[in-house]
Structure 1
Amino acid sequence: MNLSGITQTLETINIRPDEIHEEQLSEAFRILLQLIEDLSENNEKLKAENQKLRDEISLMKGEQPKPDIKPSGKKPNVDISSEEERKPKNTPKNKKPKTKKDKIKIDRVVVCEVDKDILPDDAVFKGYQDVVVQEIKIITDNIEYRKEIYYSPSQNKTYMGKTPSEIEGEFGPGVKSTVLTLKHVANVSESKIHEFLGNFNIHIAPSTISRILTKNKELFHQEKADIFRAGLLSTGYQQMDDTISNVHSQNHYAQIVCNPYYTAYFTTPRKDRLTVLDILRGDPDGESRSYYFNEEAFGMMAEFRLSKKLIDRLRDLISGKTLDESQMQKLLEIIYPTPDKGKNNRTRIMEAGAIAAYHQQTDFPVIPILLTDDAPQFKRLTYEQALCWVHDGRNYKKLHPVVPVYHETLKKFLGMYWDYYRKLLEFKETPTSEEVEALSAEFNELFSTKTRYPALDDRIIKTAGKKSELLMALKYPEVPLHNNEAELGARAQVRRRDVSLHTMTKDGTKANDTFLTIVETAKKLGVSAYAYIYDRVSKRFCMPSLAEIIRLKGVSGMDYDAG
């Protein structure tokens, strides 16, 4: 019998232990129902593992594994989205749609005259009825520059006219900006960019398109660095997430740092805590990483469960000292002369020193609050960490009970979960100290619920343990309740990966990060990415930098006390 059959049978029997008055019998049914739940879950895991082994055997025999054919017309039962549950209740409907006419720039006006020959004698002119039609023209503007040449016999020198400063090579800023926009805004592959330009009689080699996309982009790389610094200063919190990236067929990670004013991308080969810290320090390659061993560092080592004996030895050797990477490695060789010993402790010592050094730096903004999911690499990096309610809620959506009474219990609890979430949203609009106390108490009450569904009760206990991180908005109402900003940034990288499976070179990877940063930030700031790219490529610099706009839109940060 499959899971569906088990569920149908249990629905028919309709056993509800809470409605059985005899305690012994009620408890016996609870145990039996939990056994059914556990066995069903284990059976599904074994079936999946068995099929995986069958597929591996088939491949070893040179045969094809079982095809993953999805049932037509049906969505797989893996939806862990909470969008419907999070929607505000009693949302006003039938909002008047906004007109787009005011946003359209009129380039020319054409009067459609009435044939006077068909008008009767008493016809009177009554004005015009305006109809706006949007149109676009794609035409070449190929220019032959005739550079004058003069020669001076007395000076033995040739003088030649110069092309405009924006002209470099055989292609003008319009072609270069179009290539960059098609790639980074429209997400078009290089081969299709070549095909598109060919349709308009632009004769350009694929290798030239590749160079336009990746070479001589120092100006834009500096723009990205300026965006990141301005973004870090624009709010008192930052958000972060990561997703898979691919560099020359090797798995890498796209790290996304953002807030409502910007999104910045950094591709790294690892996603450990030190890598994330390097990004936050403004040194994604880790070239200038330092380690500072003060009381914060030694306290963190204790939190990492390093032995007191080891911490005391380190305190005697390096207390109050700052080490560079070379000195750090020499210290670790002294502590652990055998290379394969103490690998985990080595990492924890480095993390503690690097985090303490980050908190002391003054030449680059230090983030006080980081909003993320619950991944370990994000922990302890900043003075405080906020956690995403949507990520936490997904853990409940991953529960798929076969016992009907458990299903009802889960549905009921999720209703209370998202009702509480909506109360937090309302609090953020008009925060008061009275509401802080009330919502804190309500959290304690909600997440001390005992449902008699063991898997759900375990999940509730885990959420209760994250109270301070989930309720960071009670302390700082500016901090979002969810990490959607970073997730949307990750989706942009995923869409890029769908079209261009991987970057092939270091230059290509760096350019990809830079232009994703510029394009996604421009989108947030309401700036035309094409216009901005053209302004920079043409060297006109008529538009303010995105970093400047961020500084104007942002704030200096929340009233945060790191002490």
Structure 2
Amino acid sequence: MSAPGGSAQPLSQKALRLLVADLAGKIDRLEHEVEQLRLANSNLRLENQALKDEIARLKHLPPRPPFNPSGMEKATQPRPAGPGRRPGRGAKRDRVTREVTIPVEAPPGSRFKGYKTVVHRDLVLVAEVVRYKRERWVTPEGQTLIAPLPIGITGGFGPNVRRFCLALHTQGQVTTERLTDLLNGIGLAISKREVVRLLTSDLELFEQEDRAILQAGLVSSPYLTVDDTGARHARRPAVTTQIGGERFCVFRTSRSKSRLNFLTLLRGGCEDYVANEAALDYLRRQPVEAAVIARLSQLQDQVFSSQMEWWQHLLRCSINIFDRPLLRLLDEAATWGALRHHGLMANTVVVSDDAGQFRVAQHALCWIHAERHLQKLMPASPKQANAVELVREAIWCFYRGLKLWKQSPSPGGERAFRRQFDKIFGLRTGYQELDELLARLARRKGELLRVLERPEIPLHTNASENDLRAWVIKRKISGGTMSA
């Protein structure tokens, strides 16, 4: 090796040792500086996020999550087998509503060779204005008889106009001004005041339909995916909870996001409280004194029509209803007893994002939210970053296997998945935060692997988050809702 500075004279052995030692010292100093910069960068990111959260708090908005959406679900989608393009989303849903045969003038002696088919898709929006001529008769007694209108016809606009307005305004986020212009452009003469009236008044039939949908979904659906989001209602902070399944979805806005509120929503509109064996089993899993449970066991299978009647019976049993934590647990137990009394949630799995209020019945944990905790880690060295990346790849591979097994469950595969789960989440990398996260997820093994017992349940709550997006847009643009 030549001497530094461009000299062609070779270095001695002693000079080489000094040069290598000097370079090694510089590398150590640079690595130390890089690690310090990583720590400073992490601290700046935390400080920046704290400032954003403070700005959001001052604007009465929820804080923005400090991490990006997980790409695990999209990255683990099975690739289509075989060459060629997949059919479009609407290819299997096309239904021919009208068939037209187009003739052609052919010279004599021609042979008919069938048809060349072309499918044409179009959309027809037509305003239908119907004049009902109701017969009027006068009886010999002088009484006037008028023919009744068909069922569903009230006021000057039919039910389909109201459905159209509600769907576009609620789900499509279309403002009343644009909705009025759209309806008038189609040919339906309507004012903005009438559009507002259709959106906010005489909604009893829709409320009954909504309650019936929730009741049918709770009875028939094998699982529920749930989520909630902050919402403004009537100028006050509130919470909108989504409850959905494979074929239904409902929303409920309330002032609380407690477990008692969630259990109340699951009752499907009922207001009774029941002290049965299901309620006692619920209390036995809670930090409640045995003496209190023994007093409640005297009320076996009693139904209380209201909360006040339930509290009065608690007083008769010498239970302190002014102990708020105890009263909350007792209300939760009686509400759960009412659910089981009405035949609800017998074998239903609740899939959630690990929010505490949703941990009822058979609970399953969303894999997307579980994996998202890895994004919150802020490694301070390349070794820690590599450890996080290796663990993430292992979890993604395991998740891909779960998705494939879920499509065609095979007996005997559950044991292999459980062994692989223990192997992944039992790793110890030396990165303390990562090891603590893996240990915490390992303790939730039963909820993460609930799909092995019930293959029909989903692995994530993406559907609930997508459904709640309309409420988030309403909160950001319109500042919330006012009418019920």
TM-score normalised to structure 1 length: 0.67
**Structure 1 contact 232–367 (Cα < 8 Å) conserved:** no
**Corresponding residue to 2:180 among 168, 191, 194:** 194
Q: Shift of residue 51 of structure 1?
A: 7.8
Q: In the alignment, residue 300 of structure 1 is paired with which amino acid?
A: R
SS at match of 1:103: coil
**Structure 2 contact 273–334 (Cα < 8 Å) conserved:** no
Distance in structure 2 (CA, Å) of the matches to 1:184 and 1:377: 27
**Corresponding residue to 1:372 among 344, 352, 366:** 352
Matches within 5 A, 1:146-185: 146-152=133-139, 154-184=140-170
Query: Is the alpha carbon distance of 1:352 and 1:441 closer, same or farther for their aligned partners in structure 2, counting shifts above 3 Å?
Result: same
Q: Shift of residue 273 of structure 1?
A: 0.2
Q: Shift of residue 77 of structure 1?
A: 6.9
**Corresponding residue to 1:271 among 257, 278, 282:** 257
Distance in structure 2 (CA, Å) of the matches to 1:219 and 1:273: 29
Match of 2:232 in 1: 246
Comparing 416-425 and 99-108, the one that deviates more: 99-108
Query: Is the alpha carbon distance of 1:41 and 1:364 closer, same or farther for their aligned partners in structure 2, counting shifts above 3 Å?
Result: same
Q: Shift of residue 372 of structure 1?
A: 1.2
Q: In the alignment, residue 308 of structure 2 is paired with which amino acid?
A: S
Q: In the alignment, residue 465 of structure 1 is paired with which amino acid?
A: R
Comparing 183-192 and 443-452, the one that deviates more: 183-192
**Corresponding residue to 2:335 among 325, 348, 354:** 354
Q: 1:295-319: CA deviations, max 9, x gaps?
A: 42442233xxx5xxxx144245433
Q: In the alignment, residue 111 of structure 1 is paired with which amino acid?
A: I
Distance in structure 2 (CA, Å) of the matches to 1:348 and 1:145: 58
Distance in structure 1 (CA, Å) of the matches to 2:131 and 2:334: 61
Q: In the alignment, residue 422 of structure 1 is paired with which amino acid?
A: R
Q: Shift of residue 373 of structure 1?
A: 1.5
Match of 2:245 in 1: 259
Q: Shift of residue 470 of structure 1?
A: 0.7
Match of 2:214 in 1: 228
**Corresponding residue to 1:105 among 83, 91, 96:** 96
**Corresponding residue to 2:271 among 282, 287, 293:** 287
Distance in structure 2 (CA, Å) of the matches to 1:92 and 1:455: 43
Q: In the alignment, residue 342 of structure 2 is paired with which amino acid?
A: T
Matches within 5 A, 1:27-176: 40-49=41-50, 78-88=68-78, 94-97=84-87, 100=91, 103-107=94-98, 109=100, 111=102, 129-152=116-139, 154-176=140-162
**Structure 2 contact 352–358 (Cα < 8 Å) conserved:** yes
Query: Is the alpha carbon distance of 1:31 and 1:392 closer, same or farther for their aligned partners in structure 2, counting shifts above 3 Å?
Result: farther
Unaligned runs of 5+ in 2: 1-29, 60-65
**Structure 2 contact 280–293 (Cα < 8 Å) conserved:** no
Q: 1:274-325: CA deviations, max 9, x gaps?
A: 0100111223xx73344558642442233xxx5xxxx144245433325652
Distance in structure 2 (CA, Å) of the matches to 1:465 and 1:38: 30
**Structure 2 contact 274–335 (Cα < 8 Å) conserved:** yes
Q: Are 2:193 and 1:207 aligned?
A: yes
Query: Is the alpha carbon distance of 1:178 and 1:49 closer, same or farther for their aligned partners in structure 2, counting shifts above 3 Å?
Result: closer
Q: 1:187-223: CA deviations, max 9, x gaps?
A: 4222221111222443323332233234333333333
Match of 1:326 in 2: 308
Distance in structure 2 (CA, Å) of the matches to 1:85 and 1:129: 41
Query: Is the alpha carbon distance of 1:194 and 1:319 closer, same or farther for their aligned partners in structure 2, counting shifts above 3 Å?
Result: same
Q: 1:208-252: CA deviations, max 9, x gaps?
A: 223323433333333333322332333433222222333223232
Matches within 5 A, 1:333-344: 342-344=323-325
Q: In the alignment, residue 175 of structure 2 is paired with which amino acid?
A: S
Distance in structure 2 (CA, Å) of the matches to 1:50 and 1:230: 46
SS at match of 1:301: coil
Q: In the alignment, residue 296 of structure 1 is paired with which amino acid?
A: D
Q: Are 2:297 and 1:296 aligned?
A: no
**Structure 1 contact 254–266 (Cα < 8 Å) conserved:** yes
SS at match of 1:319: helix
Distance in structure 2 (CA, Å) of the matches to 1:112 and 1:249: 65
Q: In the alignment, residue 73 of structure 2 is paired with which amino acid?
A: E
Query: Is the alpha carbon distance of 1:394 and 1:134 closer, same or farther for their aligned partners in structure 2, counting shifts above 3 Å?
Result: same
Q: In the alignment, residue 41 of structure 1 is paired with which amino acid?
A: S
Higher radius of gyration, 1 or 2: 2
Q: Are 2:444 and 1:458 aligned?
A: no
Q: In the alignment, residue 299 of structure 1 is paired with which amino acid?
A: R
Query: Is the alpha carbon distance of 1:93 and 1:235 closer, same or farther for their aligned partners in structure 2, counting shifts above 3 Å?
Result: farther
Which structure is richer in relative contact order (CA contacts within 8 A, separation 6 or more)?
1
Distance in structure 2 (CA, Å) of the matches to 1:420 and 1:325: 47
Query: Is the alpha carbon distance of 1:235 and 1:407 closer, same or farther for their aligned partners in structure 2, counting shifts above 3 Å?
Result: same
Distance in structure 2 (CA, Å) of the matches to 1:83 and 1:106: 37
**Structure 1 contact 40–402 (Cα < 8 Å) conserved:** no
Query: Is the alpha carbon distance of 1:42 and 1:268 closer, same or farther for their aligned partners in structure 2, counting shifts above 3 Å?
Result: same
SS at match of 2:298: coil
Q: Shift of residue 471 of structure 1?
A: 1.0
Distance in structure 1 (CA, Å) of the matches to 2:420 and 2:113: 67
CA RMSD of aligned residues (A): 3.9
Q: Shift of residue 49 of structure 1?
A: 4.3
Query: Is the alpha carbon distance of 1:202 and 1:124 closer, same or farther for their aligned partners in structure 2, counting shifts above 3 Å?
Result: same
Match of 1:440 in 2: 418
SS at match of 2:183: helix
Q: Shift of residue 326 of structure 1?
A: 2.1
Match of 2:400 in 1: 422
Q: Shift of residue 469 of structure 1?
A: 0.8
Query: Is the alpha carbon distance of 1:91 and 1:488 closer, same or farther for their aligned partners in structure 2, counting shifts above 3 Å?
Result: farther
Q: Shift of residue 417 of structure 1?
A: 0.7
Q: In the alignment, residue 284 of structure 2 is paired with which amino acid?
A: G
Q: In the alignment, residue 45 of structure 1 is paired with which amino acid?
A: L
Comparing 452-461 and 245-254, the one that deviates more: 245-254
SS at match of 2:244: strand
**Structure 2 contact 230–238 (Cα < 8 Å) conserved:** yes
SS at match of 1:204: coil
Q: In the alignment, residue 131 of structure 2 is paired with which amino acid?
A: E
Query: Is the alpha carbon distance of 1:124 and 1:371 closer, same or farther for their aligned partners in structure 2, counting shifts above 3 Å?
Result: closer
Q: Shift of residue 253 of structure 1?
A: 2.1
Q: Shift of residue 387 of structure 1?
A: 0.9
Q: In the alignment, residue 182 of structure 1 is paired with which amino acid?
A: L
Q: In the alignment, residue 279 of structure 1 is paired with which amino acid?
A: L
Q: Are 2:382 and 1:404 aligned?
A: yes
